[in-house]
Amino acid sequence: MDHQETKPGVKLSSIQFPIRWGEMDSLGHVNNTEYLRYFEESRIRWSDSLGLHLDGKGEGMILLKTTVTYKKQVSYPANVEVALFAGEIGRSSFHVINTLTVEGDSSPAAVGEFIIVWFDYPAGKSLPIPASLRAVLEGKAQTV
């Protein structure tokens, strides 16, 4: 099966950190569930940097879909960078793309694609993406 990846747009953020020994599995490489944690941390830090704290009150973001393509094994010891990019932007949802790259290697070891919905928590329904967030996703602003 051929998987076509979404092309990353505007770079939103980046974090670097070392792989920890305990993140590996019995096959001697980073367990696939750890990548989801890395990508989540990247999205949460970006959200926090914008002042969009995810508390489930009022309006905010909610994750709709997750896709991860594992390209290369990553093993301890390694330093990695997780970059976050904007993708397609709709009325009430937008895509973000994460790449995980091992220091010293220019091509990603994994790519995560996520669909996020702007959400009215009390009403339990989607809302249009605020203009200020749309501007950040389009690279026209640094903050909401």
For residue 41, what pLDDT is reported? 97
Residues 6+ apart with CB under 8 A from 104: none
Domain membership of residue 1 (yes or no) is no
Question: What count of residues does the chain have?
Answer: 144
Domain membership of residue 82 (yes or no) is yes
Domain count, the chain: 1
Reported as type and span, the H/E element at residue 110 is strand 110-120
**In angstroms, rounded to a whole number, what is the distance separating the alpha carbons of residues 78 and 89?**
33
Q: Are 97 and 25 in contact, with CB atoms under 8 Å apart?
A: no
For residue 53, what pLDDT is reported? 81
Domain membership of residue 66 (yes or no) is yes
Q: Note down the domain range covering 42.
A: 27-137
Q: Are 89 and 139 in contact, with CB atoms under 8 Å apart?
A: no
Show the tokens assigned to 24: 């590996």
Tens digits of per-residue pLDDT, 77-115? 999 999 999 999 999 999 999 999 999 999 999 999 999
For residue 3, what pLDDT is reported? 59
For residue 144, what pLDDT is reported? 81
Domain membership of residue 7 (yes or no) is no
Domain membership of residue 4 (yes or no) is no
For residue 4, what pLDDT is reported? 67
Tens digits of per-residue pLDDT, 3-59? 567 778 899 999 999 999 999 999 999 999 999 999 999 999 999 999 998 888 999
CATH of the domain at 67: 3.10.129.10
For residue 118, what pLDDT is reported? 98
